[in-house]
């Protein structure tokens, strides 16, 4: 199963994902997809360092369904974290401030 790293940004709490160079991005579409467990664990160490550095809070790995050309989270919880409350689609806004 493909994976991504999700966390909250410390300063504003918004949902962020780890990007391909270990940077943090506000949209799941820009997140790095790890195809194997070894890579995922290696980058999780980098994420832990970001916790130590007071940049992010509570990073962890999520399963990603990368079929169909788009990286989508598996399950309701991570879908809601990625795209906002399912009952308020009018509020869609990601950590980059991009309205939906």
Contacting residues toward another protein, per CB under 8 A: 8, 10-15, 51, 53-54, 57-58, 74-77, 80-81, 84-88, 91, 93
* Both tokens assigned to 96: 């980059």
Nearer to another protein, 20 or 46 (CB): 46
Q: Which residue has the tokens 């990286």?
A: 71
Nearer to another protein, 53 or 68 (CB): 53
Nearer to another protein, 71 or 73 (CB): 73
Phi, psi of 98 (to 5 degrees): -85, 115
Which of 63, 61, 16, 26 minimizes the C-alpha distance to 42? 61
């Amino acid at each position: 199963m493909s994976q991504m790293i999700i966390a909250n940004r410390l300063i504003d709490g918004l949902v962020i994902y780890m990007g391909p160079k270990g940077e943090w991005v506000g949209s799941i579409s820009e997140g790095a997809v790890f195809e194997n467990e070894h890579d995922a664990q290696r980058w999780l160490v980098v994420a832990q360092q970001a916790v130590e550095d007071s940049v992010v809070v509570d990073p962890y790995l999520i399963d990603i369904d990368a079929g169909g050309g788009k990286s989508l989270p598996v399950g309701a919880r991570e879908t809601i974290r990625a795209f906002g409350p399912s009952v308020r689609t009018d509020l869609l806004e990601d950590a980059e401030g991009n309205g939906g």
